[in-house]
A and B are shown apart, each in its own frame.
Chain A
């Protein structure tokens, strides 16, 4: 076995010797990791006249293609293109659900917008989706990005619902359908797996795995350990990545919440608000909110006088959970409760602006960690509007809300009732908390997210795609 130091020395002193050593190592059947290939060749190019290096470069590439792999030679050439500034670095951002509106997809699209001036950014989807749609859904400008669809025939054949790409349906004994995406990843210098899809094998020189939660257990098609870095979207996710996959993630980047009002303080009304999808399985627990609010109104009519509960959220048509809530409300008309389903973003914004208190129960009574809020973007949005959050003590919410400082965390129904009554009774307490929630909400703004993403990618360029990469 040849050690790296010997190769590095040869790279600086003699082209012939360097080429001989590389060839020997490859012929011995030993693969050279891509980062080492790139750094050695860069070092060699730096120390020799172009006339000499250009003579050896094709030979080196051919030898790499033959002995290491064709992808390895391809990656080397892509790396050199970036180093010699023949083109901008290419970033491919993949999400198997880009064709749906979702928090994770907003995260990936915002990264795309942030990077589009410094990189050639391509959004990689598995189903057709138009860039103007993504722009409209998330309020972004993606005019300098490209979009490419990588079809996955496996799901068209297999699934009863071909529009849904459900990785859990993949039979791990057959062929991995996501190799088509892995192959495409090799066309980019930096591949960002935004859909936390562990079955995609990355081929790019640098690869990032963004993870909101490690949903599935390790399987035969598990390649997260092949990524250069894992970026969790909260500390809660980071802890579960370590626990479930035994992998150490890098620094987390919180998702962007962009519901900041034009001015603060806002004119508030006596509203307790909840903004959450009406999940078919009832995971967000709006029915429990209704019941607790009704109980509060029954037991504390004086304190609750003039207050109403507003439940805002998106829903699929014929949603049995939403029907259950509606049935329940029809039976009990006493307390003031409003349902606002599938309302436009401008009305959601207005609901945040008016509400004083924000309730979020997701995770209460849950034993499955996947069903606890991984971050809870609506909590951050509410805080940006000075709503005082009263949210379940679990998941990412413990990171967003500082208990007793910028909001409240509860673990039981009794705690929730006590905290809420405390807020209803004291307007001074509310004003104080509202101001602090507003300040705290700024930490999760789109501006902060953009700043963090930009700094992160600049760091990547500096360490992995500059002359510093030669070691």
Chain B
């Protein structure tokens, strides 16, 4: 290649600027600019079963939307003011948000119940199917 000193300097400058930005990005998907979650298609039965129950427990744990997360600010000096502002804002609108979120909570609870019932039903059907298959196997062996 030709005289590359100028490009080398440029590379260093760009790298320094990018390093700062990169360090400030916490979210993995933002960093790489795409969704990374795998598709459920192509999973084995065992892997699907794990995925189903993992998802269910995640939903179950997070069904309560009235649960409030602690208010914080990453800013050092003005952080306290910001937190105070957020708290006031939240307190002011709580009666209205509660009204909506209570309905949402009821809906979530019902949905979780429905999901659990469906999953358990599938389990029971699977158990029956396994038992039937075992019986069929015994019959087949006897026939042979």
| A interface residues with partner B (beta carbon < 8 Å) | 31, 45-46, 49-51, 53-54, 57-58, 61, 65, 68-74, 77-78, 80-81, 84, 86, 171-174, 176, 179, 182-183, 186, 201, 203, 217-223, 246, 467
Contacts and interface: CB of A to CB of B under 8 A. Distances in A.
A375 B18 CA distance: 44
B7 interface: yes
A174 B58 contact: yes
Given A70-B25, A172-B50, A217-B47, 5 more contacts: A53-B7, A69-B33, A71-B22, A86-B11, A176-B36
A249 B111 CA distance: 43
B132 interface: no
B114 interface: no
B38 A222 contact: yes
Given A70-B21, A84-B11, A223 B36 contact: yes
B34 A58 contact: no
15 contacts: A58-B10, A69-B31, A69-B33, A71-B32, A73-B18, A77-B11, A77-B15, A84-B4, A171-B57, A173-B55, A174-B58, A179-B28, A183-B31, A220-B37, A246-B42
Contacts of B3: 50
Interface string B7-20: 11111111100110
Contacts of A217: 43-44, 46-47
Interface residues of B, number: 42
A50 to B, nearest CB: 5
A57 B14 contact: yes
A171 B6 contact: no
A432 B58 CA distance: 63
B46 to A, nearest CB: 6
B106 to A, nearest CB: 23
Contact of A50 (B2, B19, B51): B2
A173 B4 contact: no
Contact of B1 (A46, A51, A201): A46
A171 B7 CA distance: 46
A49 B32 CA distance: 31
Residue among B33, B34, B44 with the highest chain A CB neighbour number at 10 A: B33
A65 B18 contact: yes
Given A50-B4, A86-B11, A218 B47 contact: yes
B78 interface: no
B130 interface: no
A201 B34 CA distance: 12
Contacts of A46: 1
Contact of A57 (B10, B30, B31, B42): B10
B50 A68 contact: no
A86 B12 CA distance: 9
Contacts of B6: 50-51, 54
Contacts of A81: 11, 15
A279 B25 CA distance: 44
A84 B57 contact: no
B133 interface: no
Contacts of B42: 218, 246
B99 interface: no
B40 interface: yes
B137 interface: no
A61 B14 contact: yes
B40 A220 contact: yes
B123 interface: no
Contacts of B46: 217
B33 to A, nearest CB: 3
B110 interface: no
Given A201-B28, A217-B46, A172 B14 contact: no
Nearest to A175: B28
B127 interface: no
Top 8 nearest A-B pairs by Cβ distance? Answer: A69-B33, A173-B58, A217-B47, A173-B54, A179-B28, A173-B55, A54-B6, A54-B10
Contacts of A73: 14, 18
B62 to A, nearest CB: 10
A58 B30 CA distance: 21
Contacts of B58: 171, 173-174
Contact of B22 (A58, A70, A179, A218): A70
A171 B31 CA distance: 23
A171 B58 CA distance: 8
Residue among A80, A221, A223 with the highest chain B CB neighbour number at 10 A: A80
